[in-house]
Structure 1
């Protein structure tokens, strides 16, 4: 997620939080696994997703690789599953998300799912925070 957020420095975004409420803010900086915004500093581990509005931002995802650590049992199988669904519309929920988020899968990389949510909104979501995918 840190690599994605680094691409969004200076952009107005909606940060999805573990509380479920989106935070409309501008990203000032990203460093040391912290997200510095116009509304405060957020530990990146508490950011399950971010929505952005600039279509010219090109987010390059790291290739999938076998994970290790606490997210491996969720992240690897989910990433492999979602990779087979690129180009398809899905809805997803993540910890405390209300309502569900939906969009067309445009990319899956190490720990990240990219969605085209509408003609003007794109999203990046942490795979280890996704709790359900609806096809």
Structure 2
């Protein structure tokens, strides 16, 4: 999310669907400017982030995860790494059921 600061994004949480400019992302809190209304959202509440247009993501080097989230993080990291150098559309959707399965 830090790479999306200053970008116009859409954010979907279980209780709200909104758009705006991502002002900052610190301590797992996304701060969004939604038409002058400053909204702070915990990353754990974010189900989906949408980006309009082309965006170059800089992937961190592969590092195998350990612990409760490795069953989600490792596979999607491997998929992203396999796409390096290609032009792709990426949609990431996390369901609560997937998160519960990891524990």
Query: For the superposition of Structure 1 and Structure 2, which TM-score range results when normalised by the shorter chain?
Result: 0.5 to 0.7
Task: Tell me which residue corresponds to 1:13.
Answer: 9
Hey, what's the Cα distance between the residues in 2 that align with 1:84 and 1:35? Answer: 25
Aligned pair count reads 91
- Helix, strand or coil: the match of 2:92? strand
Q: Whose helix proportion is higher, 1 or 2?
A: 2
Partner of 2:101: none
Whichever of the two has the greater Rg, that structure is 2
Task: Name the residue aligned to 1:96.
Answer: none
TM, length-normalised to structure 1: 0.51
How far the C-alpha of 1:84 sits from its partner, in A, is 8.5
Q: 1:67 to 1:42 in 2, by over 3 A?
A: same
Please give the root-mean-square deviation of Cα atoms over the aligned residues, in Å.
3.2
Gaps of 5+ in 1: 88-104, 107-114, 117-122
TM-score, normalised on structure 2? Answer: 0.63
Counterpart-to-counterpart distance in 2, 1:64 and 1:27:
26
Structure 2 gap ranges (5+): 99-103
Q: Would you tell me which structure has more strand in proportion to its own residues?
A: 1
> What is the CA–CA distance in structure 1 between the aligned matches of 2:12 and 2:49, rounded to whole Å?
5
**Residue 25 in structure 1 maps to residue 20 in structure 2:** yes
